[in-house]
Amino acid sequence: MSWIAGVRRVPSPNCDDRPPGTAVSLLVLHSISLPRGKYGKDAGGGAIERLFTNRLDPAEHSSFADLAGLRVSAHFLIRRGGEPIQFVPVGARAWHAGTSCWRGRERCNDYSVGIELEGTDDSKFADAQYEALSVLVGELRQLLPLRAVAGHSDVAPGRKSDPGARFDWVRILGLLAHY
């Protein structure tokens, strides 16, 4: 229970072991774009991969200065066109939620899988992303005892706002009902 078959792998060093005996029961959804609001390879689309693998040059873009030395990752990224990329095996703890709490339980990274959607917290997501997310979560539900789905804003309120108000929760929950 590590890497998902058929998903492109870009291993990130920004992960470690989960606490022994920890069941992975939460899915945390995020949004990211680097630079903000720019998507695809022509707009520096590889910057997210470079961030998650500690190869992002802060001098590449003025908005990257705050990212210097940051060590973060997610288990998955779903690009605008629906391509999923896996950075961390699902059995490992990715560094995606930071200081966080879900239903009174702190340290969400310990017991969650983090999925980033290429986008911003104030933009619509692409149809292909919802479809890919639905398929990916269906596969994860076969491997893990997932019981809840939350946004980064739900586990880190006041600190994070993603995936944002434009994320279609009704749509994704409807798609997930088929699995």
Question: Does the bond joining 157 to the residue before it have cis omega, within 30 degrees of 0?
Answer: no
H or E element, residue 138: helix 127-143
CA distance 118 to 45: 9
Give yes or no: 116 in active site.
Answer: yes
Active-site annotation holder among 116, 118, 131, 139:
116
CA distance 160 to 157: 6
Q: Which residue spans within 10-159 are E strands per DSSP?
A: 15-17, 26-32, 76-78, 84-86, 92-94, 101-102, 105-106, 112-118, 148-151
Q: Which residues are identified as catalytic?
A: 116
